[in-house]
Amino acid sequence: MENLIALLVAAPLVGAALLLCGGKRLDRTGAWIGSLFAVASFAVAAVLFADMLGKSAEDRAVHQHLFSWIPVGGFQADVGFQLDQLSMTFVLLITGVGSLIHIYSIGYMEHDERRRRFFGYLNLFLAAMLLLVLADNYLLLYVGWEGVGLASYLLIGFWQHKPSAATAAKKAFLVNRVGDVGLSIAIMLMFTTFGTFAFGPVLAATGDTSEGKLTAIGLMLLLAACGKSAQVPLQSWLGDAMEGPTPVSALIHAATMVTAGVYLITRSGAIFNAAPDAQTAVVAVGAVTLLFGAIVGCAKDDIKKALAGSTMSQIGYMILAAGLGPIGYAFAIMHLVTHGFFKAGLFLGAGSVMHGMNDEVDMRHYGGLRKYMPVTFVTFGLGYLAIIGFPGLSGFFSKDKIIEAAFAKGGTEGWILGGAALLGAAITAFYMTRVMLMTFFGEKRWAETPGAAAPGQQVQHPHESPKVMTIPMIVLAVGSVFAGALFSVNEAFVTWLEPVTSFAHGHSPLSATAITASTIVVLLIGVGLAWQMYGRKPVPAVAPRGSLLTRAARRDLLQDDFNHIVLVRGGEHLTRTLVYLDHSVVDGAVNGTAASMGGLSGRLRQLQSGFVRSYAVQMLGGAAVLVAATLLMRGV
Amino acid sequence: MNPVYYLYLAALLFTIGAAGVLIRRNAIVVFMCIELMLNACNLAFVVFSRMHGNLDGQIIAFFTMVVAAAEVVVGLAIIVSIFRTRHTASVDDASLMKL
Amino acid sequence: MADFSFPLLTATAAVPAIGAVATAAVPAAKRTAAKWLALLFSLATFVLAVVIAVRFRPGAEGPYQLTESHAWIQDFGVRYELGVDGIAVALIALTALLIPFVILAGWHDADPLESASDSGSAAGSNSRWRPTQGFFALILAVEAMVILSFEATDVFLFYIFFEAMLIPMYFLIGGFGDRAGAHGEEQAATQRSYAAVKFLLYNLAGGLIMLAAVIGLYAVTADQLGSGTFSLQQIVEARTSGKLDFGTGTERLLFLGFFFAFAVKAPLWPLHTWLPNAMGESTSPVAVLITAVVDKVGTFAMLRFCLQLFPEASSWATPVILVLALISVIYGALLAVGQRDIKRLIAYASISHFGFIILGIFAMTTQGQSGATLYMVNHGISTAALMLVAGFLITRRGSRLIADYGGVQKVAPVLAGTFLIGGLATLSLPGLAPFISEFLVLVGTFSRYPVIGIIASVGIVLAALYVLVLYQRTMTGPVKAKVEGMPDLRARELVVVAPLIALLLFLGVYPKPLTDIVNPAVDHTLSVVDKKDPKPAVRVDAVPGAGRPGHAVHDQEVEAAK
C-alpha cells in the first residue's frame, strides 16, 4: 500500500508536464485534464486514508523509499516519502480542496485563452505541495517548499501583461527566498550537528544536543515559516499576491501553501520542544501577526486584500498554537484544516462576486448583492460565521481551543498571549462583519445603467455563477459548518494526531467555560461595533480619509514603505555605486596600468629616431657599459 | 716585438672606425669605417691567436672576413638602390625605418 | 606496452582538431557544408566522450585511468601524459556535450553580411574571405585544446594547451560579434577589439606568471629528484613519500604562480573584469564557450594542480581565497542586479557562480569539492541554456539592452518559457540540477566555516533578484513596440534548448550517475591534501531507535566494502 504514496505526487506532476508541454492541442480540454489529475490524486489519498484507518495508531506511519538522491560522503540525501497522520491530514486537505478549486476554476477561467497553462501551474502546485508534506527528510521538503514558491510565483503573475501582477509575483518569490535561506541554513545546521537531515534520526536525537544549537535551528526554521506563511516580518508579499486569479488565492494563499510554515513547525516539534527560546520567538511572531493581519484586514476596501489580512491573522493563530508545544500542535493543525475549509470558501465566494461584477474588487462598489447571488451569499455567510467563531461552527471549536491553550501557557506570558488571541477574535469578528455588510447588505453602490454610473465606474449586471463554481462553494461551506464539531467529538482529531505530534492537556488559569464565554462576548462586541459603523448607516462609495491608524493599516502598517525606502532604494544605490566602482576602480586600475604602460612606451619610442648614427651611438654606449660592467665585476 | 703593440694598433683602428661611423654622413664612408672596425677586430683575433699559440683566433678571423664580404654585398646593394631613388648617399636622409 | 590499446583520450582531442582543419579547408562558397562538417565532428567527439564515460570505472585502482604516456621532450622531462579521473570525465563530457549546441546555436552567426555580399556579389563568389569556415574551425580548435587540458597529467603539457586556447578564443571574441549593435557597426567593432585584447592580456599575464612557476617546479624537481619532471603523478608520489620537499617559502610562491593564472581564468574577484566585456561583445555561442567551457579549465586546474601539487600552500592560502570567493559571490550578484545589458548581467551572474565553485573547492570537504565539480557541470548547462535563449532573443530584436524589451511572453511564449527555466536554473531552484551543486557547496563550506556559509547563502536571495528582475523587465508587462511580431523559437533553436533543459531536470532529480563518477576523484584529492570532513556534533547512530532501515543497510554495505 505504501507504494501508492509516490502516485499522490506523480499524478499532478504528470498532469502538469502534459499541460505545459502539450501545446495548443490541449487548449480546449486542458481544464478537464488538469482537474482529472487532481481528482485522481484525491482518490489515491482517500484509498490511503482508508487503509490507514484500518491500522492501529502506532503502525499508521508508512515509508516509501524511492532512490538515493545525492550521495556525497557523509551527506546522504534520499528521495523517500513518509505518510503519517500529520501528512495524511495535509494530503487530504490539499487534494480535497485542491480538486474542488480545480473544478471551480473550470468555470472561473472559462474565458481565459491561456487556461491550459493555468491548470498546468495548478497541477504543478499540487505536486510540489504534496512533496512538501510527504517528504521524509528536510532537503526533500525544501524541494517542495521552493516548488510551491515557484507555482505561487507563476500563478500570482499569471496575468503577466499587468505590470502590477508581474511585480507582485516577483515580490512574493523574493520575500519567500529570504525565508528559504533560513530553511537551507537550518538544514546545514542539522547536517553539521547530526550528520543527517532525515526526520526520523534528527527528531529522535534532539535530547543529546546542546540547547544553543537547537535554538539556532529552531529560529532558522521559524524564519522559513515566516516567509512561506506570511508572518511578521516577512508578511508583506501576501497582500500583493492577491493579483493572482481568485482560485489561486483560495488554494495557495489561503488554504494550503501559506500553512506550510505551520506544518514545518509542527513537524519539527521535537526541536522546538527542546528549545524554549525558539518557542518564545514562535509565539511572539504568531501573536504579533494575528493582530497585525487583523488590523490590516479592517482597513482594506479590496475584498481580496481584506481576506488576505484575515488569512495572515488566522495563520498567526496557528503559529501561536504551534509555538505552545504539545499543548498546541494538534489545535494548530485543527485550526489549519477548518481554516482551509472556510477561508477557501470565502475566497471562492469573493471570486464568485467578482465573476458577477466584472472583476470589480472594491467593496465600496458592492452592496446589496444578497438578492442577486443567493448561493454565493449563503455559502459566504456560512464561511463568515465559521471564521468569526460562531458557536457550533468549525471556527468556534478550533479557535476556542487555541485561545485556551494560549492561556494555558502559564504566567504573564500566558495572559499576554491569551489576551492577544481574544483581542484578535474581536477584531476578526469586526472586519469579517464589515466585509459581509459591505458586500451583501445595505444599498447597492453600483450602477445598472450607464447614466447612473459614477465616473470611472463600470456598469454592472450582477448574476449568480454557474454550477461548476457554486458546487465547490457549497461543499466547502458544508465543511466549514461541520468539520469543527466532527473533529471535537471525543477529541477525535487530537487522538488521531497524537502519535505524531504528541499531546498534553494544558492547564489554563481560567476555566474552559469562562474562556468560551469571553470568546462569545468579544465576538458579540466585534460584530456589534461593525454593525454600528457599516450596518446602521450607508457606506460611502469613496473611502473617507480615516484616522491615522486606518491610513497606516491601508498601507499595510507602513511596512511596505519601510521596505521600499530601506531595501529597494538602498539596494538600488548600493548596486549603482558598485557598478560605478567596478568600472572606475577595479577596471580602472587595470586600464590605468595599461595607459601608463602606453605612455611609457610612447616616450621610449622617441629613441627610435630612424637615424642610423644615433643607433650606432646607442650601440657603442651599450657596448661600453657592458665592458665597464664586466671589468667592474672582475675587479670585485 | 711585443704583440701587445698590435693590440694597441687594433684598438686605435677600431676607435677610428667607430668615430667615422658616428661622425660621417656619407653612407660609403660609414661603410668603409665599419670595414675598418671589422678589420681591427681581425687584427686583434690574429694577435690573440699568436699570443695563445692556438688557431682559434685565426679561424674566427676567417669567419669575420666571410661575414664582412657578405655584408658588403648586401650593404652596397642597399646603398646603391637608395642612391638611385634619392640621389643622395647621406645616412641621415634615410630615417624612415622606424615605427 | 605489451597489449596495444586504442588511445581513446588522444582520439577524443584529435577528432575536433582534425575537424577544425577540415572545416577551415572547405572552399568559400560551400558555407553550409562547413557548418555540417563542424557539427558532424563535434558529434563524433561527443560519441567518443560518451565512450570515455562508459569505459571509466569509478573507484578503480589508481587516481587516473585510460592513461597514455609517451616521451616527448626528454631533455626537460616533458612527457605526453594523459589520464582522466572522475572530475575530468565529467568535464570532458560537459565540453563535448555543449559544443554541438554551440555550433547549432551559432548556425547563422558567422554568415557574411548581406550588405557585404551585395556590394561585391561578383567578388563575393570567388573571394577567399571565409568567416563562416573560420568561426566553426575556431570553435572546434578550442574544443580540442580544452579537452586536452582536462586530460593532461603532465604539468607542462597542460600549460601548453591552457595557453594555446587563448589564440582561437581571441579571434572568436574579436572577430565575431552581434550583428546590429545599438551604436552602429563601427563602435561595436572598437568595443569588440577592446574586449578581445583585454581577454588576451589578462589571461596572458596569468599564464606568464604560471610559466615562471612551471619552470620553478622543474628546477625544484631537477634539484631534488635528480632528473626534472613535470609529471603530476610522479611529483605527488615523491611528495607523499617524502623524497620531494619544496620548502615552505618555495611552495607558497609556486602555488601563487599557478593560482594566479587559474584565478584569472576562473575568474575570481578582483581579476574578473575581462569577463563581462568578453561575454558582452561576443556572440552568445562564443559567450557560452567562454563561461561554460573555457573558464572551467581554471577551476578544474585549481582542483587538479593547485591542491595536489601544493597541499600545504593551499591550506595556507585558504582563508584569503575563501574571502575572495565570498566577495565574488556577493559582488557578482549585486553587479548583476545593476546591469542594463542582458549579456553582461549573465556574465556577472557567472562571476557569482564561479565564486561558489571556488568556495566549494577550498572548503576542503567532500561535499564542497563534489559540489564544486557538479557546479562546474551544472553551471555549464544552465548558463548555456540561459545565454543561448538570450542570444536568440537578442538576434530577433537587435539589442542587448534590457530596457528595449517587454511583454515578450505574450508574443513568444515558448521563448519566454525556456528563458524562465534557464533563469530558474541560474537561481538554483530545487528540482533543477544547479540546486544540488549549490547546496552541496554551501553545506561543505558551512560544515567547516559556518560564517562564510551563512553569508554565501545571501547569494541565493540575490540570484533570485537578478533573475526575476531580468525576467520581469524583458518578458512581462505590456508588449513593447519593436517586440511585436517577434517570432517564437524555431525548430533549430528548440533542438538546441530542449535537450539542455531536459538534462537540467534529469540531473536535478537523479544526479547519482554524476556523483558516482566524481566522488572517488574527490576522495583522492582530499587524501592528497590530507583533509578529513568535520564530524557531526552528535553521532546519530548512538541514539537508540534512530536511523531508518535504508540507512542501516547503507552503513552495512560500506563496512562490508571496507
pLDDT tens across A413-438, in order?
Answer: 889 999 999 999 999 999 999 999 88
Q: Tell me the average pLDDT across A375-394.
A: 90
pLDDT above 60: residue C552:
no
Show Cβ contacts of residue C86 under 8 Å, excluding neighbours closer than 6 positions.
Answer: C56, C58, C373, C517, C518, C519, C520, C521, C522
How many distinct structural domains can be found in chain B?
1
In terms of domains, do A133 and A17 share one? Answer: yes
- Of the pLDDT bands very low, low, confident and very high (cuts 50, 70, 90), residue A91 is very high
Phi-psi map region of C486: left, alpha, beta (phi>0 left; psi -120 to 50 alpha): beta
A623 falls within a domain: no
Q: Tell me the average pLDDT across A408-416.
A: 86
CATH code, domain with B50: 1.10.287.3510
Q: Tell me the average pLDDT across B33-60.
A: 92
The set of cell numbers assigned to C440 is 552541496
Which phi and psi (to 5°) does residue C540 adopt? -65, -35
CB A97 within 8 A of CB A476: yes
In terms of domains, do A67 and A31 share one? Answer: yes
Place of cell 669605417: B33
Place of cell 467555560: A513
The pLDDT tens digits of the residues spanning B80-91 come to 988 888 888 887
Q: State the nearest Cα–Cα gap between A615 and chain C, in angstroms.
A: 31
CA distance C159 to C214: 8
B18 closest CB neighbour out of A611, A612, A620: A620
Q: What percent of chain A has pLDDT over 70?
A: 99
- Write down how long chain C is: 562
CA distance B46 to B56: 9
* Interface contact A620, partner B, CB < 8 A: yes
Please tell me whether residue A18 adopts helix, strand or coil conformation: helix
Touching chains, C (3+ CB pairs < 8 A): A
Show Cβ contacts of residue C202 under 8 Å, excluding neighbours closer than 6 positions.
Answer: A590, C264, C271, C274
Q: Tell me the average pLDDT across A247-272.
A: 90
In terms of domains, do A47 and A79 share one? Answer: yes
At least 3 CB pairs under 8 A between chains A and C: yes
Domain containing B49 equals: 25-87
CB pairs under 8 A between A and C: 200
State which residue of chain A sits closest to B95, comparing Cα positions.
A610
DSSP state of C268: P
By CB neighbour count within 10 A (0-12 exposed, 13-18 middle, 19+ buried), where does A377 fall? buried
CB A129 within 8 A of CB A257: yes
CA distance C54 to C66: 11
Q: Cβ of C541: how many Cβ atoms within 10 Å?
A: 15
Please tell me whether residue A509 adopts helix, strand or coil conformation: coil
Q: Tell me the average pLDDT across A439-467.
A: 78
A512 falls within a domain: yes
Touching chains, B (3+ CB pairs < 8 A): A
Q: Tell me the average pLDDT across C355-359.
A: 94
Instruction: Supply the pLDDT for residue A454.
Output: 66
Q: Tell me the average pLDDT across A259-267.
A: 92
The pLDDT tens digits of the residues spanning C59-107 come to 777 788 888 888 888 888 888 888 888 899 999 999 999 999 999 988 8
Q: Which residues of A touch B18 (CB under 8 A)?
A: 616, 620
Domain containing A500 equals: 275-447+464-544
State which residue of chain B sits closest to A608, comparing Cα positions.
B98
pLDDT above 70: residue C124:
no
Q: State the nearest Cα–Cα gap between A632 and chain B, in angstroms.
A: 20
pLDDT above 50: residue C55:
yes
The pLDDT tens digits of the residues spanning A122-169 come to 999 999 999 999 999 999 999 999 999 999 999 999 988 888 898 899
In terms of domains, do A468 and A416 share one? Answer: yes
Instruction: Supply the pLDDT for residue C559.
Output: 44
The pLDDT tens digits of the residues spanning C268-322 come to 988 888 999 899 888 899 999 999 999 999 999 999 898 888 888 899 999 999 9
Instruction: Supply the pLDDT for residue C289.
Output: 92
Residue C560, CA distances (Å) to C553, C554, C556, C557 in order: 10, 10, 6, 5
> Minimal CA–CA distance to C359: which of C466, C437, C249, C432?
C437
CB C292 within 8 A of CB C354: no
Strands A62-72 and A75-83: antiparallel
- Write down how long chain B is: 99
Instruction: Supply the pLDDT for residue A605.
Output: 81
Q: State the nearest Cα–Cα gap between B26 and chain A, in angstroms.
A: 11
Complex confidence, ipTM: 0.89
* Interface contact C447, partner A, CB < 8 A: yes
Q: Which residues of A touch B79 (CB under 8 A)?
A: none
B97 closest CB neighbour out of A610, A613, A617: A610
Q: Which residues of A touch C535 (CB under 8 A)?
A: 195
* B98–A609 CB contact, under 8 Å: yes
In terms of domains, do A514 and A568 share one? Answer: no
* C442–A208 CB contact, under 8 Å: no
- Of the pLDDT bands very low, low, confident and very high (cuts 50, 70, 90), residue C478 is confident
Q: Tell me the average pLDDT across A94-104.
A: 92
Instruction: Supply the pLDDT for residue A385.
Output: 92
Place of cell 567527439: C45
pLDDT above 50: residue B31:
yes
In terms of domains, do A295 and A152 share one? Answer: no
B83 falls within a domain: yes
In terms of domains, do A191 and A302 share one? Answer: no
* A185–C407 CB contact, under 8 Å: no
A138 falls within a domain: yes
Q: How many CA atoms lie within 13 A of C113 on its CB side?
A: 10
A434 falls within a domain: yes
B7 falls within a domain: no
State which residue of chain B sits closest to A611, comparing Cα positions.
B95
The pLDDT tens digits of the residues spanning C141-152 come to 999 999 999 999
Q: State the nearest Cα–Cα gap between B92 and chain A, in angstroms.
A: 6
* B98–A620 CB contact, under 8 Å: no
Q: State the nearest Cα–Cα gap between C496 and chain A, in angstroms.
A: 16
> Minimal CA–CA distance to A82: which of A151, A13, A142, A140?
A140
CA distance C350 to C301: 18
Q: State the nearest Cα–Cα gap between A572 and chain C, in angstroms.
A: 8
CB C8 within 8 A of CB C66: yes
Instruction: Supply the pLDDT for residue C129.
Output: 60
Residues 588-607 of A with CB under 8 A from B: 605
How many distinct structural domains can be found in chain A?
3
Instruction: Supply the pLDDT for residue C554.
Output: 43
B92 closest CB neighbour out of A605, A608, A611: A611
What's the whole-number average pLDDT of chain A?
88
In terms of domains, do A495 and A586 share one? Answer: no
A631 falls within a domain: no
* Interface contact B21, partner A, CB < 8 A: yes
Show Cβ contacts of residue A346 under 8 Å, excluding neighbours closer than 6 positions.
Answer: A254, A307, A310, A380, A383, A384, A387
- Of the pLDDT bands very low, low, confident and very high (cuts 50, 70, 90), residue C423 is very high
In terms of domains, do A578 and A539 share one? Answer: no
Q: Which of A59-73, A500-514, B16-30 has the lowest mean pLDDT?
A: A500-514
B42 falls within a domain: yes
A63 closest CB neighbour out of C431, C536, C548: C548
Instruction: Supply the pLDDT for residue C553.
Output: 39
**Single pTM value for the model:** 0.86
A636 falls within a domain: no
Which phi and psi (to 5°) does residue A626 adopt? -60, -50
Instruction: Supply the pLDDT for residue A455.
Output: 65
Q: Which residues of B touch A611 (CB under 8 A)?
A: 91-92, 95
The pLDDT tens digits of the residues spanning C203-255 come to 999 999 999 999 998 888 888 888 888 888 888 888 888 888 888 888 899 99
- Of the pLDDT bands very low, low, confident and very high (cuts 50, 70, 90), residue A36 is very high
> Minimal CA–CA distance to A301: which of A558, A559, A538, A544?
A544
* C469–A170 CB contact, under 8 Å: yes
In terms of domains, do A441 and A335 share one? Answer: yes
pLDDT above 70: residue C114:
no
C478 closest CB neighbour out of A147, A161, A571: A161
Show Cβ contacts of residue C106 under 8 Å, excluding neighbours closer than 6 positions.
Answer: C135, C136, C139, C283, C284, C285, C286
Q: Which residues of A touch B96 (CB under 8 A)?
A: 610
Show Cβ contacts of residue B39 under 8 Å, excluding neighbours closer than 6 positions.
Answer: B13, B68
**What string of H, E and C letters represents the secondary structure of A301-352?**
CEHHHHHHHHHHHHHHHHHHHHHCHHHCHHHHHHHHHHHHHHHHHHHHHHHH
In terms of domains, do A511 and A596 share one? Answer: no
Mutate to test the interface with B, among A611, A614, A617 (most CBs of B within 10 A): A611
* A208–C424 CB contact, under 8 Å: no
- The DSSP H or E segment spanning A217 is helix A211-228
Q: Cβ of A456: how many Cβ atoms within 10 Å?
A: 5
B1 falls within a domain: no
A635 falls within a domain: no
Which residue among A161, A191, A223 closes a domain?
Answer: A223
Which phi and psi (to 5°) does residue A597 adopt? -60, -45
A616 falls within a domain: no
Instruction: Supply the pLDDT for residue B98.
Output: 54
B13 falls within a domain: no
In terms of domains, do A299 and A157 share one? Answer: no
Roughly how many angstroms between the first and final C-alpha of chain A, as a whole number? 96
Angle, nearest 10°, between helix axes A329-356 and A85-108?
A: 0
What's the whole-number average pLDDT of chain C?
85
Q: State the nearest Cα–Cα gap between A469 and chain C, in angstroms.
A: 28
Place of cell 463568515: A384
pLDDT above 80: residue A292:
yes
Q: State the nearest Cα–Cα gap between B89 and chain A, in angstroms.
A: 13
CB pairs under 8 A between A and B: 31
CA distance A116 to A23: 9
* B95–A611 CB contact, under 8 Å: yes
Instruction: Supply the pLDDT for residue C184.
Output: 65
